Structure 1
Amino acid sequence: MTSNHHHQHGHGHGSVPAADFDWDALAAHLEHEADLKAGAVTEAAQWLSGLYGAGEVRRVLDVGSGPGVIAGLLADVFPAAEVVAVDQSAALLERARTRSGGRLGTQQADLPDEFDKLGEADLIWSGNAIHHLGDQQAALTSLAGLLRPGGLLAVAERGLAARYLPRDFGLGRPGFQARLDAAHEDGFSTMRAELPGSTEEIEDWPAMLERAGLTPSGTRTFLVDRPAPLDRSTRAYLRTQLSRLHDQLAESLRPEDRATLEALLDEDAPTGILRRPDAFYLSAMTVHTARKA
């Protein structure tokens, strides 16, 4: 269970034997994605610090931490706290330790079976990770059980899918990204249906947090806004993202849209995502919070 921005994306590494998986390529991609969102995450963490109020946050868990970029940002905002990155991938946690110069604690855990390994916390952050577990309500209830009295649970799920091209960008039929989103949503539903213990849930996160025994304490959305023209590294991130979408969705796209996607992936063409002057990056991250009485 590794944080990954609502699967638009999904690394779907659950179905890949670990030995065959290129963890370094994945880690680099996840780090890139988290770096893109760093400003929004820091803003969110400062908001959480204000919500927590008086008293000291002593222990923070980032559940589904991936390579630990967000855990590092949480450590910046809560300097007195022990911050622990939690993930099922030992390779990504090793990356988190290296990245943070040992500042972060790490805990390898296979969730949902090993929630009880994580210990108590004053603040728990989980970004785009709960949706990788079959029973999302049970996962929230398990996390709520780890909170100390007065503790906060912050769940970043959904928000708005990224936009990075104009509606009409001169290739194929206008509205390409909306059609890509639709194909992706179908793929996301299939992914969820195939998870062990998959349970259908109306994804009303504040209501789910309340059913977990917590008191909802507010929802806020934070913007990630990189206008055109993009720097080289953000373009490289988008090309990787498009290439992953091609791997996941090519079969379900109409031939015209598949051709557009392939043209965007062309590294040498002026119409490719690496060279287009009109490429931008805009997305929104929604954070739902709730408090233990």
Structure 2
Amino acid sequence: MAPHLEAQAELFTPLYERALAWLAKEVTEPGLIVDAGSGPGVVSCLFAETFPGARVLAVDFSEPLLERAGERAARLGYTDRFGTLAGELPGVLADSDYPADLLWAGRSLHHLGDQRAALAAFAERLAPSGTLAIMEGGLPSRFLPRDLGIGRPGLEARLDALEAEWFARMRADLPGSVDEVEDWPALLAAAGLKHARTRSFLLDLPAPASDRARAYVADSLARLRDGFGDVMDPEDRATLDRLLDPADPAGVHRRADLFVLTAQTVHTAVKSV
């Protein structure tokens, strides 16, 4: 997963930069920023760039991903104020030496079975007046026109439906999974936090797509083809095969109308003094 996670975060950097700039207006001069579920550390390093006076702690269950995060921080010159912590969330946060002035969970909360309990644990690890920021929700990515000239129109909407079914199964199979209405401001309030705010951020990379964007789209569609090929409509499977064929003029490697458009939503709240 590491190359895919890195490629996605690097391509989505403009979106993350806008989100972090929004956070920087509310969180001034944080001492410690914790990236809970950091993966390979692309966003962790963006925090180090955005907040040059802060220490950044990347937290993840995967030690290989954290090694990549440390290597990225070293390449960018952040080693002296960048650390990593390996373990399962949220319990591993108890091993942090200091409470966080800003705790970020970017699309990691939904991988925890009891999201309400996880938010409460995150809130406990905040310093007084500290901010919890979670990125959950938004809009599905779009790469292609509704009618892309091959196969049946509306391919991406049908892929969305397959992903939604997979997501529900993934959540149900998590240890300690609890069904929860995804009212994030209400859940933040239930964790004892105040002043909930929500804002969405757009990534708009118009056609013609760059080589990096094409590679990301091809990888994303290939993952969908591999994951759902046995259950999807045969015509849609054939369409994906053509889209993934580098020699096909209608494929994502060559078509001129390829783009990347998506939105991600950030929810924040503050711990009382």
Same fold per superposition (TM over 0.5): yes
Deviations 1:68-95 (A, max 9, x none): 0101111111110101111111111111
Residue 83 of structure 1 corresponds to 56
Residue 219 of structure 2 corresponds to 240
Partners of 1:216 and 1:205 lie apart in 2 by: 12
Residue 107 of structure 1 corresponds to 85
Determine which of 3, 18, 23 is the counterpart of 1:43: 18
1:1-293 mapped onto 2 (5 Å cutoff)? 26-53=1-28, 56-101=29-74, 102=79, 104-118=82-96, 119-293=98-272
* C-alpha displacement of 1:266: 1.1
Assess if the C-alpha contact under 8 Å between 2:11 and 2:212 holds in 1: no
Assess if the C-alpha contact under 8 Å between 1:152 and 1:292 holds in 2: yes
TM-score, structure 1 as length reference? 0.88
* C-alpha displacement of 1:252: 2.3
Deviations 1:156-195 (A, max 9, x none): 0121110000000011110110010011100100010001
Give the letter for the 2:33 counterpart.
V
Partners of 1:282 and 1:127 lie apart in 2 by: 18
SS in 2 for 1:162: strand
Give the letter for the 1:175 counterpart.
G
What are structure 1's unaligned runs of at least 5 residues? 1-25
Give the letter for the 2:14 counterpart.
G
Assess if the C-alpha contact under 8 Å between 1:59 and 1:123 holds in 2: yes
Partners of 2:271 and 2:90 lie apart in 1 by: 21
SS in 2 for 1:46: helix
SS in 2 for 1:251: coil
* C-alpha displacement of 1:142: 0.5
Assess if the C-alpha contact under 8 Å between 1:209 and 1:216 holds in 2: no
Deviations 1:40-87 (A, max 9, x none): 11111121111125xx30000011111101011111111101011111
Number of aligned pairs?
266
Give the letter for the 1:64 counterpart.
G
Give the letter for the 2:129 counterpart.
G
Assess if the C-alpha contact under 8 Å between 2:90 and 2:122 holds in 1: no
Partners of 1:251 and 1:69 lie apart in 2 by: 33
Deviations 1:230-258 (A, max 9, x none): 11111111111111111221122111111
Give the letter for the 1:286 counterpart.
T
SS in 1 for 2:265: strand
* C-alpha displacement of 1:217: 3.0
Give the letter for the 2:83 counterpart.
G
RMSD over aligned Cα atoms:
1.2
TM-score, structure 2 as length reference? 0.94
Residue 12 of structure 1 corresponds to none
SS in 2 for 1:111: coil
Assess if the C-alpha contact under 8 Å between 1:157 and 1:287 holds in 2: yes
Partners of 1:94 and 1:170 lie apart in 2 by: 44
